[in-house]
């Protein structure tokens, strides 16, 4: 699987046959598992001062994306992305 790059646009399909475009905002390897932070393309492109909704997805070796399933996993991933952003400043 190719590395997912920041700025890349992903189109995700859902069970109800809906599709949604997301922009990759960041990527981290946490304990051997790749996670990406994404935002809806239309939210990212608005360039407003308002916060946008950020979603975290787990990337499997097959290249499939999965929602984070537990609060514990979400907290771990969220904290790691927050720390990564602080280090970039």
pLDDT tens readout for residues 28-75: 999 999 999 999 998 888 866 567 888 999 999 888 999 999 999 999
In a domain, 2, yes or no: no
DSSP assignment string, 6-65: TT-EEEEE-TTS-EEEEEEEEEEEETTEEEEEEEEHHHHHT--SS----EEEEE-TTS-E
Per-residue pLDDT, 86: 79
Report if residue 82 sits inside a domain: yes
pLDDT band at 16 (very low <50, low <70, confident <90, very high): confident
> Is 4 domain-assigned?
no
Identify whether 51 is part of a domain: yes
Average pLDDT over residues 67-86: 91
Residue 89 has pLDDT above 80, yes or no: no
3 domain residue, yes or no: no
Q: How many angstroms separate the CA atoms of 35 and 61, rounded? A: 11
Q: How many domains is the chain built from?
A: 1
Domain that holds residue 63: 9-88
For residue 48, being part of any structural domain is answered with: yes
């Amino acid at each position: 699987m190719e590395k997912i790059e920041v700025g890349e646009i992903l189109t995700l399909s859902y069970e109800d046959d809906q599709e949604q475009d997301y922009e990759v905002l960041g990527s981290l390897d946490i304990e051997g598992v790749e996670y990406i932070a994404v935002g809806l393309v239309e939210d990212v492109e608005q360039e407003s001062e308002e916060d946008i909704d950020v979603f975290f997805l787990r990337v499997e070796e097959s290249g499939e994306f999965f929602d984070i399933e537990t609060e514990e996993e979400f907290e771990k991933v969220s904290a790691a992305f927050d720390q990564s952003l602080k280090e970039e400043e």
